[in-house]
Amino acid sequence: MAQNEWWKGAVIYQIYPRSFQDTTGDGIGDLNGIIKRLDYIKSLGVDAVWISPFFKSPMKDFGYDISDYRDIDAMFGNIGDFDKLIEQAHQRNIKIIIDQVLSHTSNEHPWFVESRADKHNDKADWYVWADAKPDGSPPNNWLSIFGGVAWQWEPRRCQYYLHNFLTEQPDLNFHNPDVRQAVLDNVKFWLDKGVDGFRLDAINFCFHDKQLRDNPAKPKALRQGRGFSEDNPYAFQYHHFNNTQPENLDFMAEIRSLLDQYPGTVSLGEISSEDSLQTMAEYTSGGDKLHMGYSFELLTNDYSAQYIRETVSRLEAVMTEGWPCWAFSNHDVQRVASRWSQDGKSVNPQQVKMLTALLGSLRGSVCMYQGEELGLSEADVAFEDLQDPYGITFWPNFKGRDGCRTPMPWHHDAPHAGFTTGSPWLPVCDEHAQNTVSSQEVEPHSTLSQYKAFLAWRATRPELLTGDIEFIDTKEPVLAFYRTLDDKKLLCLFNLSEQTAVCEVQEDNYTPIKELAHHTGEQAAGKVTLPGYGCFFASI
Give residue-wise pLDDT tens across range 486-520: 999 999 999 999 999 999 888 778 888 877 755 56
pLDDT greater than 80 at residue 231: no
Residue 223's pLDDT is what? 85
Q: What is the pLDDT of residues 173-183, one digit of tens each?
A: 999 999 999 99
Show the DSSP H helices in 134-283 as ranges.
Answer: 177-193, 248-259, 276-283
Q: What is the CATH number of the domain that holds 509?
A: 2.60.40.1180
In a domain, 500, yes or no: yes
Residue 517's pLDDT is what? 56
Average pLDDT over residues 185-190: 98
**Residue that is last in its domain, among 458, 487, 520:** 458
Give yes or no: 209 in active site.
Answer: no
Among 61, 65, 81, 270, the active-site one is 270
Among 65, 73, 201, 332, the active-site one is 201
Residues 285 and 359 in one domain: yes
* Residues 6+ away with beta carbon under 8 Å from 250: none
Query: What dihedral do alpha carbons 439, 428, 167, 77 form, nearest 10°?
Result: -70
Q: What is the pLDDT of residues 361-372, one digit of tens each?
A: 999 999 999 999
**Residue that is last in its domain, among 393, 423, 458:** 458
In a domain, 150, yes or no: no
Would you tell me how many other CB atoms lie within 10 Å of the CB of residue 374? 23
Residues 249 and 360 in one domain: yes
Residue 194's pLDDT is what? 98
Average pLDDT over residues 212-240: 84
Please give the tally of structural domains in the chain. Answer: 2
pLDDT greater than 70 at residue 531: yes
**Domain range spanning residue 509?**
468-539
Distance CA 164, CA 149 (A): 9
Which stretches does DSSP call E strand in 271-317? 292-294
In a domain, 336, yes or no: yes
Q: Look over the chain and give the mean of its residue pLDDT values, rounded to a whole number.
A: 95
Residues 406 and 496 in one domain: no
Q: What is the pLDDT of residues 63-99, one digit of tens each?
A: 999 999 999 999 999 999 999 999 999 999 999 999 9
Residues 186 and 315 in one domain: yes
Residues 513 and 403 in one domain: no
Residue 1's pLDDT is what? 45
pLDDT greater than 80 at residue 247: yes
Residues 491 and 527 in one domain: yes
Residues 417 and 480 in one domain: no
In a domain, 96, yes or no: yes
Within 13 Å of residue 119, how many CA atoms lie on the same side as its CB? 10
Distance CA 391, CA 402 (A): 8
pTM: 0.96
Residues 286 and 410 in one domain: yes
Give yes or no: 316 in active site.
Answer: no
Residues 327 and 359 in one domain: yes
Q: What is the CATH number of the domain that holds 55?
A: 3.20.20.80
Residues 370 and 402 in one domain: yes
Q: Would you place residue 229 in the very low, low, confident or very high pLDDT band (cuts 50, 70, 90)?
A: low
Residues 381 and 528 in one domain: no
In a domain, 88, yes or no: yes
Residues 487 and 425 in one domain: no
In a domain, 122, yes or no: no
In a domain, 147, yes or no: no
**Residue that is last in its domain, among 413, 440, 458:** 458
Q: Would you place residue 521 in the very low, low, confident or very high pLDDT band (cuts 50, 70, 90)?
A: low
